[in-house]
Amino acid sequence: MAHGQRTQMRGAELDLLRQIRSRVSGGAGVALGIGDDCALLRPRAGQEIAVTTDLSIDGRHFRVGWYSPEAVGHRTLARGLSDLAAMGARPLAAFVSLGLPKDLVKSARTGKSWVSRFYDGLLALAEAHKTPVAGGDMAESPVALADIVLVGAVPRGRALLRSGARPGDGIYVTGALGGSAAGLAKLAELGGAARRVPARWAAMLQPHLYPQPRLAQGEWLRRRGIAAAAIDLSDGLSTDLAHICEESGVAAEVDAAAIPLGLGATLDQALHGGEDYELLFTARAGKRVPARVAGVAITRIGRVVRRQRNRPQVALIGDVATQPLEERGWQHFI
Amino acid sequence: MAHGQRTQMRGAELDLLRQIRSRVSGGAGVALGIGDDCALLRPRAGQEIAVTTDLSIDGRHFRVGWYSPEAVGHRTLARGLSDLAAMGARPLAAFVSLGLPKDLVKSARTGKSWVSRFYDGLLALAEAHKTPVAGGDMAESPVALADIVLVGAVPRGRALLRSGARPGDGIYVTGALGGSAAGLAKLAELGGAARRVPARWAAMLQPHLYPQPRLAQGEWLRRRGIAAAAIDLSDGLSTDLAHICEESGVAAEVDAAAIPLGLGATLDQALHGGEDYELLFTARAGKRVPARVAGVAITRIGRVVRRQRNRPQVALIGDVATQPLEERGWQHFI
């Protein structure tokens, strides 16, 4: 109870919310889901719990006017799942807190409400990665926002960390980079609204609207003991590689020509674009890293070197010159 | 990276955020805190993980203009801790996601910034309950909001649930009820701004601005096997008791005269006010329930009865008449 306000919900809206609740409960590892004060999760013996939270706000991390509700739901969950992938963790449960303006909750006269379609997108991805939605919160808000919490499990002491890189390691990425930024640029060029984008551009928007978290690849790299350090490419290669260097106390060299470019992406978008949700990892020189893991290409893009005074933390080696790779990706508020 | 925006933060703001990070890390049971893709938690063997999320939005769950930042921080964490208390769980870690308008992040010329004082309030309560803040997220937002995630631990299969009540149980509450609603009413009467409230009213605002989650009481009631069902009084007695009845498939009778009233509270505020964050629990008829647990009074306020057609789910027994106790507390959006 706050400030004497009481939410009066009409039958149709209550029905919608019951519908959502009935769609999201249950799953292995969830002993108790929505409907009590807490959800109860049962990790297996010897496992550590990985927890990540990501807040997305309309106008900053997504745009209600630009994306379909399904894409916003997908992207919200993908952000959280990608953090688990970076640790080599397996998802146990997701929790979704939504703040929504009234018009996004009401059922549209001509079909499903925004929030119902948001859950369509989110739950399709959750199902693909066997991730039960075990709880969350929903409140009225002047701006649309979603906070996603992922809880995962990883064998004790075995999580992939940002701090594991050593000089001599190779640097690798999954998939291709810059596709999300290229898709976003194309979307902006076409005037924003994804639903009005001509069919011939649809494939180019895919990496931005429906990024694929690399859970299978992260778990595989951890189980086989191949990755020494890992992070997911949410902020952009330049910024995320700097995080690995910071946490590991090392420096890095990236070969510009080696970077796998996403559909329609420029080198600049691949270096700084962010939101590709691919994995960036290092592996000791002696490790044999396969060309593909679970159907996704793995590319060697550089090497870890010793940190030295007067040398950039991350250097970009081009055809003619080597230059410092500045952090021009997403800067977190905290 | 979203929409080409990049946050340019000035030195003073970055310093503030580093300061907050340095204050919140560490704690037993946290193997890895802020600074990687996920936090890693290590529950002890045989424990289940309890997870709860609560979203608070300015204008709906609190008011930036009314409360001190310290009170908002305290209340944000108290909401989450209280959910753990209701399960008899022990906190492992908290995660705080903040959305903040720019002016709440900038350091005021004359002292600390709003966000820094928010953390003062939150961390003081966290310390009192040995709860490390292991992560979170912060983003710019047109409206101030906080999403709190609490992860707790409870021996497997032993959590207190809403569904454990049986006919014949006594119904009990910790502390006193309605004090939060009475404090809020007084605050509104005095014009809203808590900092300008005369000293003689300060004690009356305390239950609203600084509610105390009953973690010690919840854990004690679980360990001793005294509580059969439990919930925290966040929405109001009428609504929360209905939740227990729903989940347990029972009905309840409450003795109006037995309800312990908070400072300045009316019976109506005690029945429907909410945000007292006391525990409501039931205990089998044979159990000896003490008058106090860990310094807080326990009061028997009624009994669980069989659910019968044509009888209210919750009945309020007064001096002259018995009447249905309607759910007039906070109605959740979901």
Question: Is A83 known to sit in a ligand binding site?
Answer: yes
For residue A274, the chain B residue with the least C-alpha distance is B1
| Mean pLDDT computed over A245-259 | 97
Domains and CATH numbers, chain B: 44-155 (3.30.1330.10), 162-324 (3.90.650.10)
Residue B45 to chain A, least CA–CA distance (Å): 6
Contacts of B273 in chain A (CB under 8 A): 1
Residue A136 to chain B, least CA–CA distance (Å): 6
Which pLDDT value is given to residue B14?
53
Structure-block tokens of residue B41:
């938690």
* Per-residue pLDDT at A315 exceeds 60: yes
| Mean pLDDT computed over B169-181 | 97
B83-125: per-residue pLDDT in tens? 999 999 999 999 999 999 988 887 666 678 899 899 999 999 9
A5-63: per-residue pLDDT in tens? 334 344 445 566 666 667 765 566 677 767 788 999 999 989 999 999 999 999 888 89
Give A120's contacts (C-beta < 8 A, 6+ positions apart): A69, A70, A73, A112
Smallest Cβ–Cβ distance between A334 and the set B50, B138, B329 belongs to B138
Which pLDDT value is given to residue B3?
32
Smallest Cβ–Cβ distance between A147 and the set B55, B83, B232 belongs to B55
Question: Is A37 known to sit in a ligand binding site?
Answer: yes
Which pLDDT value is given to residue A330?
64
